[in-house]
Chains A and B, each alone.
Chain A
């Protein structure tokens, strides 16, 4: 293989161009193609007229006569706009509720260091590991007893079960990086804990709050099993559940409108994500690294 002398620049063994093309660009290209193809396919199908969808002739990778018929059907002949609105309301309310609860909890665990703070932190982490597919049956009976079945409240109140542990854990990591001295100075100046939290800690933790908020919003937007179990009327459904349960009619699948529903339902999170990629990535890796 290569000799140590030519090799002293770190990843030098990949330097020559043809070799680099085969070792790096080719596999990377395949990865990107495979990972993004389903989205391309969603988009192409959305704008294809039915005649093109059901023909095996011609080039399926392109649209010859683009049409908005599928999107039109989705917006005017189904409850799709209503599902969109439900998803927005549920995601926004549960995200802000969870963020507020998590900020207080994380500050208490990380900074007030009350008796049992360490154990509480561990319990929060363990709560994060409890998957929704174990909880949905007992939660369904609780939601029913509380009279919340088939309402948006059922989702707004149950989504924090996975949002609060995640956000608290993430914010604990952020709060840990803020120097204690700042707080001590403020305490000496006579500030109360509440003032310290609002005027010193929160402004410094804004990137962490954005990470946690974006992540929580996407998690709520994408949630499926609770929304599927706790909601039965079309007017209260969220986008993922509405598309899966209501747009599939009988044996003939309306692929055009199904794909339009999938595409439009993915766009809000994709757009939000594109604005906050760095926050999103740091939220994801931060939650794992701690």
Chain B
């Protein structure tokens, strides 16, 4: 008996058991079940029959689903680009010699750690049509004469939720990129300076190439979580006005849970998978090529 527990394979399997059981039952199995549900006409309280690609054919012709796909792509691309540039900028600012640096770093991460559903309510209030503080300030400065209808107009609503998403995502990008910046040795900058490189050239030829691997990882996470975002939209607009802010995730929820069409909802959710895989593969191969160009000695 004692001998058996010293065998690394037996013991390894034993140690893996709790985690593996949890993940197989509540992650792997539901993932497969989700794929299956997407091919059925399951409703709440009624197991579905196999209908083949019917859900997907229907969704492809459904104007709301197409709009949701467009919204999701717009939301992901615009928010990710903004998060990247603002996050990188903030990381560079925080990498300077500053008084109260650790205070700044701690304060900046707050939007990321408080519950998104709750900060989204604050944004809902900030974007209120009658009492918006943004409108109040702009009116005081005489920049506008009527309060902005942030969430009532389709394009205003899209930009508003993108702004809220960027607000929530910038701290994560900034703090992880800051960790990357801190690993770059100052002697590299000194060497570049001796060679006569300007500040911009040092950023472009020293900072950026060394930061690329971590940028790729951070932005992959950022894109994945933006593409599958649910809370912000659900709380601030519920997909409105006129479905103009519905994302794939919120539409899938609406069709499946209040709407009861589990099969259709699952099909919308599964339709997100190819996009996620594409993002992961893009970053994986982008990263590989980069590592190879740099000689890839460290891994």
* Chain A residues within CB distance 8 Å of chain B: 1-2, 4, 7-8, 10-14, 24, 27-28, 31-32, 34-36, 38-39, 41-42, 45, 53-54, 56, 60-61, 100-102, 104-105, 107-109, 112-115, 117, 120, 124, 127, 129-142, 157-158, 160-161, 164-165, 168, 192-194, 218, 221-222, 224-225, 228-229, 239-241, 243-244, 253, 255, 258-259, 261-262, 265-266, 269-270, 273-274, 277, 280-281, 284-285, 288-289
Task: Identify B117's interface contact among A13, A241, A284, A289, CB under 8 A.
Answer: A241
- Tell me the complex Cα distance, A229–B278, Å: 28
Q: Is the CB of B272 within 8 A of A281?
A: no
- Tell me the complex Cα distance, A101–B18, Å: 5
Instruction: Of the listed stretches B49-57, B61-69, B187-195, name the one at the interface; the rest are far from the partner chain.
Output: B187-195
In chain A, what residue has the closest Cβ to B197? A4
**Known contacts A4-B194, A218-B113, A225-B231; is-contact A38 B122 (Cβ 8 Å):** yes
- Tell me the complex Cα distance, A38–B119, Å: 7
- Tell me the complex Cα distance, A229–B83, Å: 29
Q: Is the CB of A288 within 8 A of B228?
A: no
**Which residues of chain A have C-beta atoms less than 8 A from B105's C-beta?**
277, 281
**Known contacts A277-B102, A281-B105; is-contact A157 B131 (Cβ 8 Å):** no
Judge if B162 is at the interface, Cβ distance under 8 Å.
Answer: no
Judge if B217 is at the interface, Cβ distance under 8 Å.
Answer: yes
- Tell me the complex Cα distance, A228–B230, Å: 11
Q: Is the CB of A137 within 8 A of B34?
A: yes
Q: Is the CB of B16 within 8 A of A105?
A: yes
Task: Identify B8's interface contact among A42, A113, A266, A270, CB under 8 A.
Answer: A113
> Majority SS of interface residues in chain B?
helix
Task: Identify B126's interface contact among A38, A157, A168, CB under 8 A.
Answer: A38
Q: Is the CB of A41 within 8 A of B126?
A: yes
**Which residues of chain A have C-beta atoms less than 8 A from B228's C-beta?**
131-134
**Known contacts A225-B253, A269-B114; is-contact A134 B119 (Cβ 8 Å):** no
Q: Is the CB of B196 within 8 A of A137?
A: no
**Which residues of chain A have C-beta atoms less than 8 A from B121's C-beta?**
243-244, 258-259, 261-262
Question: Scoring B residues 1 to 12 as 1 if CB is less than 8 Å from chain A, else 0, what string do you get?
Answer: 010011011011
Q: Is the CB of A259 within 8 A of B125?
A: yes
Q: Is the CB of B171 within 8 A of A35?
A: yes
Top 4 A-B pairs ranked by shortest CB distance?
A114-B12, A108-B15, A240-B117, A105-B19
- How far does the Cβ of B287 sit from chain A's closest Cβ, in whole Å? 13
Q: Is the CB of B179 within 8 A of A289?
A: yes
- Tell me the complex Cα distance, A228–B252, Å: 14
- How far does the Cβ of A109 sit from chain B's closest Cβ, in whole Å? 8
- How far does the Cβ of A40 sit from chain B's closest Cβ, in whole Å? 10
Judge if B240 is at the interface, Cβ distance under 8 Å.
Answer: no
Q: Is the CB of B273 within 8 A of A134?
A: yes
Within 8 A of A (CB), among B252-271: 252-253, 256-257, 262, 265-266, 269-270
Q: Is the CB of B23 within 8 A of A161?
A: yes
- How far does the Cβ of B274 sit from chain A's closest Cβ, in whole Å? 12
Q: Is the CB of A8 within 8 A of B190?
A: yes
**Which residues of chain A have C-beta atoms less than 8 A from B97's C-beta?**
11
Q: 28 A-B pairs, CB-CB below 8 angstroms?
A: A10-B186, A11-B96, A11-B189, A24-B93, A31-B108, A35-B167, A38-B119, A38-B122, A41-B126, A53-B131, A101-B22, A104-B15, A107-B15, A124-B23, A127-B23, A130-B31, A133-B269, A133-B272, A134-B270, A135-B30, A135-B34, A138-B33, A262-B119, A262-B121, A273-B110, A273-B113, A280-B109, A281-B105
- Tell me the complex Cα distance, A225–B179, Å: 30
Q: Is the CB of B6 within 8 A of A160?
A: no
Judge if B156 is at the interface, Cβ distance under 8 Å.
Answer: no
In chain B, what residue has the closest Cβ to A278? B102
Judge if B212 is at the interface, Cβ distance under 8 Å.
Answer: no
- Tell me the complex Cα distance, A36–B110, Å: 8
- Tell me the complex Cα distance, A107–B15, Å: 8
- Tell me the complex Cα distance, A44–B31, Å: 44
Task: Identify B198's interface contact among A2, A239, A241, CB under 8 A.
Answer: A2
Q: Is the CB of A281 within 8 A of B34?
A: no
**Known contacts A10-B190, A136-B253, A225-B253; is-contact A4 B196 (Cβ 8 Å):** yes
Q: Is the CB of B109 within 8 A of A10?
A: no
- How far does the Cβ of B123 sit from chain A's closest Cβ, in whole Å? 7
- Tell me the complex Cα distance, A169–B20, Å: 14
